[in-house]
Structure 1
Amino acid sequence: MFRATCPETEEDMRELTTREIAEGLPRLYEQDGAEDPTVYVHYFSCVNGWDWWLLEFDGTDEAFGLVEGYDDELGYFSIKEMEELNRQMGFAAVERDEHFEPKSLSAVRGR
């Protein structure tokens, strides 16, 4: 049975940021003032069509980046809330783009 998009366990499904990823991310405000900051992680939802482009992370939950939803804006979002949503829905409503390579914010906005 083909299960490329289906995680093996509920724990796998909820893990949007691994320890390895979190340790390599700039902390909140580290890119503050950068002319063209780097985006490190891309999250997306095929349920609502939203995208989250992570620039900075507090190491446990709070992330800062570009949120493309009703409007496109830079702001804060909660990784734990995304994981909780996935757990409640019983499937990966929000997923991490495992093929995304870090790139500049201007490259993401210009795609």
Structure 2
Amino acid sequence: MILLTSQYRDRLLANGREPDTDHVPVVKFFNPFGAGVWLATELDAGGDVMFGLADLGYPELGFWSFDELRSIRLPFGMGIERDLHFASDLPISIWAEAARETGSIRGAEQLLYARAGQRPSDENIGRP
């Protein structure tokens, strides 16, 4: 599997040229064997440092190395994968708030997709 297509790379690089913007996540990476989910919104000009929401047991906004992510080796010769079905029109701030409320990106995904069709506001994220 191609972890980062040229189309995604171009979008991430373009977002990286617009810092301090509440970008929509472009791509979702995950560990198919357990903890580890990354929603990337930006890529630096050097092509390695990504920014977005990462969850390795606790969701937080920050930076990580794409090269390190790509080099992770898991059981059965597998590695980190890209979610082929991920799509979002919600900015990373909404994802981060939902992840904090639910305790994980996976929990945020369930919450936000359950509310598809209506954009959650800061006041009602995580509330019935």
| TM-score between both structures, scaled by the size of structure 1 | 0.69
Find the aligned partners of 1:91 and 1:84 in 2 and give their Cα distance: 10
Give the corresponding residue for 2:42: 56
Query: Alpha-carbon deviations, 1:73-93, whole Å to 9, x = none?
Result: 11111111121114897213x
The residue matched to 2:18 in structure 1 has which SS?
coil
Matched letter for residue 55 of structure 1: T
Is the 1:16–1:79 contact (alpha carbons within 8 Å) kept by the matching residues of 2? no
Find the aligned partners of 1:37 and 1:27 in 2 and give their Cα distance: 7
Give the corresponding residue for 1:44: 30
Give the corresponding residue for 1:74: 61
Which of 87, 94, 110 matches 1:101?
Answer: 87
- Higher fraction of helix: 2
Matched letter for residue 69 of structure 2: M
Q: How many residues align?
A: 95
Find the aligned partners of 1:89 and 1:108 in 2 and give their Cα distance: 31
Give the corresponding residue for 1:4: none
- Higher fraction of strand: 1
| Matched-pair identity in % | 28
Gaps of 5+ in 1: 1-11
Residues 55 and 21 (structure 1), Cα distance of their counterparts in 2 relative to 1, 3 Å cut: same
